[in-house]
Amino acid sequence: NGKPPSLPYLKGKKVLVSAGPTREIIDPVRFLSNRSSGKTGFAVAQAAQAQGAEVTLVTGPTELPTPPGVRRIDVTSAQDMLDAIAPLYDDVDLVIKTAAVADYTPDETFPHKVKKSDGDLSIHMVRTVDILGELGRRKDKQILVGFAAETENLAQYAEKKIQEKNLDMIVANNVNEKGIGFASDDNQITIFRRDHESIEYEKQSKEDLAHHLLEEIRPFFEGDGE
Ligand code: CTP
Ligand code: CA
């Protein structure tokens, strides 16, 4: 459409980014979590802010500083993340869900530190709510972008998640190779869209990938997205 691609395209738009791991609490001193650092989500929040958006970053526990100009909401568990996101959803234009949300949570949280005994310990785990799946079911005007970390069958699982969660786009990363993916500074991603060819990117910094992702999302807001 002749517009220079460098113009910020999210002015006046509300963007929700979720980042980091969740922590599922076992007792006051123990939890179950994963290796997500939050770096991708924080880079994506910053890139959306640079496109002029009003950005809310809902994040699990990380060591990262809040990107300037971004509103940050800290959460712990998958349930907390859902509770933080749900009331904001109707009002947002774009959701980018980078968070590594726990799929299971202990069915009870012990009020005191669990003492060891001679026998083994089993912890019964129950399913958490699929937050993104829930947003997909409630989708109205929102553009929904999911993330998926896979160690095998990348394309097949990515396409399945697009359908099942009613997404517009999914960013898949291969966490098999050393030095990319969880907790590293670099990432190697493939972007999948409904009815589009997938786009595979070279391994590069999470900041550069966040920038590319925001450029891939641009057409949804400039009229030729579907
Ligand atoms: N997701 C979510 N709520 C959950 C689990 C996942 O919102 N309880 C979101 C993640 O934030 C991500 C997308 O769903 O954007 C895909 O997460 P992923 O773990 O790859 O997929 P799952 O559907 O959980 O399937 P599986 O872990 O079995 O691959
Ligand atoms: Ca999962």
User: SS in 3 state form for 100-124?
Assistant: ECCCEEECCCCCCCCCCCCCCCCCC
Angstrom distance (rounded) from CA 54 to CA 119: 53
Q: Which of 97, 129, 138, 142 to mutate to test the pocket of ligand 1 (most atoms within 8 A of CB)?
A: 97
Residue ranges in 90-152 assigned as alpha helix (H): 131-137
Tokens at residue 197, please? Answer: 């060819």
Report the candidate in 41, 6, 3 with the shortest Cα–Cα distance to residue 20.
41
Angstrom distance (rounded) from CA 45 to CA 69: 10
Q: How many other CB atoms are found less than 10 A from the CB of residue 129? A: 15
How far away, in angstroms, is 203 Cα from ligand 1 center? 22
How far away, in angstroms, is 7 Cα from ligand 2 center? 35
Report pLDDT digits (tens) over 28-86. Answer: 999 999 999 999 999 999 999 999 999 999 999 999 999 999 999 999 999 999 999 99
Angstrom distance (rounded) from CA 139 to CA 48: 20
How far away, in angstroms, is 131 Cα from ligand 1 center? 8
34 is catalytic: yes
Q: List the catalytic residue out of 34, 174, 176, 187.
A: 34
Q: Is the per-residue pLDDT at 1 higher than 60?
A: no
Question: DSSP character for 183?
Answer: T
Burial of 204 (0-12, 13-18, 19+ CB in 10 A): middle
Report pLDDT digits (tens) over 96-140. Answer: 999 999 999 999 999 999 999 999 999 999 999 999 999 999 999
Q: Work out the pLDDT band at 196, boundaries 50, 70, 90.
A: confident
Q: ipTM for the complex?
A: 0.99
Atom of ligand 1 nearest to the CA of 134: 7
Pocket residues: Cβ below 6 A from ligand 1: 78, 97, 99, 101, 103, 128-132, 146-149, 161
**Which amino acid, residue 74?**
D
What is the pTM for the complete model shown? 0.94
Residue list for the binding site for CTP: 103, 113, 147, 161, 165
What domains are defined for the chain? Answer: 14-112+123-221 (3.40.50.10300)
**Which amino acid, residue 171?**
V
